[in-house]
Structure 1
Amino acid sequence: MLYAFYKKRRERLEKKLEAVKKREAAALAREQKNDEERRENLKGVPGHFAHGLNFYKYFWIFFICCFLGVVIETVFCLVTTGRLMQRTGLVWGPFNLIYGIGAVLLTACLHRFVTKNDRWLFLGGAVLGGAFEYFCSWLQETVTGTVSWDYSNYPLNINGRINALYCLFWGILALVWIKELYPRLNGWIERSVSNRYGKAITWLLVVFMLANSLVSGAAVMRWQQRYDGVPATQTWQTAMDEAYPDDVLSKIYPSMVRTKNKV
């Protein structure tokens, strides 16, 4: 009886051990497959106009992330607040420069660590992202006298511009971006963007984004001037007053809050 009991117990343990080995083997196979896909995506398509990390590749990363960042944040706000909120940063289309520049910055500074230990990517992303977010907040307040976020009520914040929690988010984002998203995006760009017409398309988009940024900056600057009581004496001021009055800009930038004075 005792022998039969231990025999059955041993058989059950052996089955469990075999199941664990199969799961480990499957996990290892998935990891190897992911590594192979990552290498293939990073390898790209030699001869493509955006091959490697050149101007064209950086621009496409910038452009795509300007758009995707808005989509992701809009969905996040909808899920967490139950409200559909405007999260764009430019007056033409669903684009936000912060997401695009942030993606380029993470790629340029951290892509070489794709095969390194995750902690270096995390730490690098936390420091780099925190510094970038702080700079963006400072620059916005310095130039326009407004802020779009304020972390003063968060613990371990620096002048309300950044805090420890969001630095952690930046670290996690850097890990996900460098290990998973950037390699896939790199492969997609080189396989999907036309090599024949890609350069022409790129420069058209460059012109569009430059014009979009200039008009957006002028609209916000004129918005601040109207707030300060500055009359329209130049053609561009009149054009901004007609195209982008206060009620229009309030809808485009609902989270933008004026500070008492420019820094």
Structure 2
Amino acid sequence: MFLSLIFVVFLFLVVQGFVRVVVFFWDWLSGGDQLDADDVERAETALEESEDVLERELARAERQRGLGRLFARWHASNEAVDEYLDHLHLGWYQVVIIFFVGSMAGLLIEEVWMLATAGLTESRVGLVWGPFSPLYGLGAVALTLLGFFLRRRGAKNWQVFLVSAVVGGLLEQFAGWSMSTFFDAESWTYLGLPDRITQWVAWRFLVFWGLLGLAWCRAVMPRLLYQIGMPTTRRQAVFVTLVAVYLVADVAMTLVCFNRKSARDAGVPPANAFEQWVDTNYSDEFIAGRFENLKIGDQRDAVDENGNLIYDENGNTLTEAEGGAR
């Protein structure tokens, strides 16, 4: 018990220290040489208008009492954020940061969920470098772009829900189909679910995407964009550009590794020194250890002629190798 308490305190201090470092670094990025005058003026105008709204609404909130004052202050904060978003220019700067944060946050949530519901502690990363799952990053970017568009057109909640469900389903379908078609691989399958629509899309997860999009559009996205803001200094622009270059290189290297894994399974030798280097440093053992939930080639789940999963006598799914042998 005492050791557990010590661990919790230590973990809290580590998280607190990490947050302070991030805040310090973010403040440092806000210094230095500024960008073009028009960009700086746009960002400063948006912030000034937002602060004016906040000041006015807080003055009204002070006339309330008890819980009414608390809710009025929350309303004032929301009004200030809405005012800022009315002036926000959504571009590559915000998209890169949202993809970066979404890829890590989605991975963390998925691993915690799998640990809590299935007791699994396997690695569920999607790229060879870093703790990223690009599917969640793409989902966060797609929901942000759509949410921002729908917000400015005054979309109703049911419209946001439906659009988010469709976008989420299309994203899963495209990602699953691409992995299966180009790399003979799969990270998930819904063939065992009674409400499946395709191998990678199911009704229950369309509902999940719809609810997620609604929560993202109404609660998460506005404040996240407000915190990210618009770039005003060269440090901010350079840093986010470097992050974008790193992510592009990470995605490209992951595709190369998957391509060579498929080629090795087919008995195709490396064609040049680079492919030889990839085979040496990103071997089958590396792929298996890095992407523990990824099934490639004959390790994929076996299906019958009707597209249904094949199970053994104990109710466990068979792989293509096992299904073919039987």
Residue of structure 1 equivalent to 2:284:
246
Partner AA of 1:75 in structure 2 = V
Residue of structure 2 equivalent to 1:255:
293
Alpha-carbon distance, 1:26 to partner: 7.5
Q: Percent identity?
A: 28
Counterparts in 2 of 1:234 and 1:38: CA distance versus 1, 3 Å: farther
Partners in 2 of 1:113 and 1:60 — Cα distance?
21
Partners in 2 of 1:175 and 1:46 — Cα distance?
19
Q: What TM-score does the superposition give when structure 2 sets the normalisation length?
A: 0.65
Counterparts in 2 of 1:243 and 1:28: CA distance versus 1, 3 Å: farther
Counterparts in 2 of 1:231 and 1:78: CA distance versus 1, 3 Å: same
1:74-223 superposed matches below 5 A = 74-114=111-151, 115-190=154-229, 195-223=233-261
What's the RMSD between the two structures over aligned residues?
A: 2.5
User: Could you list the per-position Cα deviations for residues 75-110 of structure 1 after superposition, in whole angstroms to 9, with x for gaps in the alignment?
Assistant: 111111223221111111101111111111111123
Residue of structure 2 equivalent to 1:37:
77
Residue of structure 2 equivalent to 1:233:
271
Partners in 2 of 1:207 and 1:213 — Cα distance?
10
Q: Could you tell me whether the CA contact under 8 Å between 1:147 and 1:259 is conserved in 2?
A: no
Partners in 2 of 1:190 and 1:53 — Cα distance?
9
Q: What TM-score does the superposition give when structure 1 sets the normalisation length?
A: 0.80
Counterparts in 2 of 1:179 and 1:242: CA distance versus 1, 3 Å: same
User: 5+ residue gaps in structure 1?
Assistant: 1-24
Alpha-carbon distance, 1:142 to partner: 1.4
Alpha-carbon distance, 1:232 to partner: 1.5
Q: Could you tell me whether the CA contact under 8 Å between 2:262 and 2:297 is conserved in 1?
A: no
Partners in 2 of 1:125 and 1:97 — Cα distance?
18
Partner AA of 2:109 in structure 1 = I
Counterparts in 2 of 1:174 and 1:232: CA distance versus 1, 3 Å: same
Partner AA of 2:204 in structure 1 = L
User: 5+ residue gaps in structure 2?
Assistant: 1-64, 299-326
Q: Higher relative CO (CA 8 A, sep ≥ 6), structure 1 or 2?
A: 1
Q: Could you tell me whether the CA contact under 8 Å between 1:44 and 1:52 is conserved in 2?
A: no
User: Could you list the per-position Cα deviations for residues 45-96 of structure 1 after superposition, in whole angstroms to 9, with x for gaps in the alignment?
Assistant: 999xxx5211111111111111111111111111112232211111111011
Partners in 2 of 1:135 and 1:43 — Cα distance?
36
Q: Could you tell me whether the CA contact under 8 Å between 1:42 and 1:186 is conserved in 2?
A: no
Partner AA of 1:207 in structure 2 = V
Partner AA of 1:93 in structure 2 = G
Partners in 2 of 1:140 and 1:121 — Cα distance?
28
Q: Could you tell me whether the CA contact under 8 Å between 1:110 and 1:121 is conserved in 2?
A: yes
User: Could you list the per-position Cα deviations for residues 135-163 of structure 1 after superposition, in whole angstroms to 9, with x for gaps in the alignment?
Assistant: 11111111111111110111231231100
Aligned residues: 232
Partners in 1 of 2:164 and 2:247 — Cα distance?
26
Partners in 2 of 1:252 and 1:231 — Cα distance?
22
Partner AA of 2:210 in structure 1 = G
User: Could you list the per-position Cα deviations for residues 8-61 of structure 1 after superposition, in whole angstroms to 9, with x for gaps in the alignment?
Assistant: xxxxxxxxxxxxxxxxx98876665444433423444999xxx52111111111
